[in-house]
């Protein structure tokens, strides 16, 4: 029972960063004009800084969606049931979502430095960059919320969840690759 409870708490904690990370895929289909965060610029190595897939529109919509979902989750869970554990506060959720998106940018930066084109798979980097950044932000701001078991569970469940949601996005034609 404790393991199931820990899994439920883990999912509640990581849900907003998941939403923040996934929303830019949907935003790319909504906004006709998209502005790359790197403005199409290259570094000295001749490679793009982040690539066309990382846009201001995606970043802002991801941040807003993740924060709103986190805010609603916080309100519903804390008002519906009296919990013996603490959830990330709304201000912390905002920082976690920002960190998740920055972690994803760091992942794109690393992929460009490795010479991987946009959409190329980078196992574990693709699945964990946003998550580890969000968890680091939580640990820095509200460390009492983050237990080691939540971190371990999040790291274990995120790759399969990420692959499943990306496959669904691919089947819905929201993404060009199923990873």
Span 12-68, pLDDT tens digits? 999 999 999 999 999 999 998 999 999 999 999 999 999 999 999 999 999 999 999
Where are the extended beta strands (E) located within the chain? none
Torsion of CA 87, 93, 99, 101, to 10 degrees: 120
Give me the pLDDT at residue 78, please. 79
Maximum distance among all alpha carbons in the chain? Answer: 55
- Which pLDDT belongs to residue 84? 57
- Give me the pLDDT at residue 65, please: 98
> What's the rounded mean pLDDT across residues 83-111?
91
pLDDT at position 172 is 95
- Per-residue b or e along 28-39, where b marks 16 or more CB atoms closer than 10 Å to that residue's CB: beeeeebebbbe
| Measured distance CA(96)–CA(146) in Å, rounded | 12
Band (83; pLDDT cuts 50, 70, 90):
low
Cα radius of gyration rounded to whole Å, the chain:
17
* pLDDT band at residue 80 using 50, 70 and 90 as cut-offs: confident
Q: In 100-128, which positions are buried (b, 16+ CB within 10 angstroms) versus exposed (e)?
A: bbbbbbbbbbebbeeebeeeeeeeeebbb
- pTM (predicted TM-score): 0.93
Question: What's the pLDDT score for residue 125?
Answer: 96
Q: Look at residue 129 and tell me whether its pLDDT is greater than 80.
A: yes
pLDDT, tens digit, for every residue of 133-165? 999 999 999 999 999 999 999 999 999 999 999
pLDDT of residue 106: 98
The whole-number pLDDT of residue 86 equals 77
């Amino acid at each position: 029972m404790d393991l199931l409870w820990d899994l439920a708490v883990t999912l509640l904690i990581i849900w907003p960063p998941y939403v923040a990370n996934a929303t830019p895929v949907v935003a790319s289909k909504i906004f006709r004009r998209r502005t790359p965060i790197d403005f199409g610029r290259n570094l000295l190595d001749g490679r793009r800084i982040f690539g066309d897939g990382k846009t201001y529109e995606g970043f802002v919509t991801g941040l807003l969606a993740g924060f709103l979902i986190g805010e609603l989750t916080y309100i519903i869970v804390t008002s519906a049931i009296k919990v013996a554990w603490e959830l990330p506060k709304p201000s912390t959720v905002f920082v976690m979502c920002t960190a998740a998106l920055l972690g994803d940018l760091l992942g794109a930066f690393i992929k460009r430095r490795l010479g991987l084109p946009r959409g190329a798979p980078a196992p574990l980097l693709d699945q964990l960059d946003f998550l580890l950044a969000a968890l680091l932000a939580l640990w820095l701001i509200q460390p009492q919320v983050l237990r080691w078991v939540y971190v371990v569970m999040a790291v274990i469940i995120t790759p399969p969840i990420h692959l499943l949601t990306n496959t669904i996005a691919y089947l819905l034609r929201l993404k060009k690759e199923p990873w």
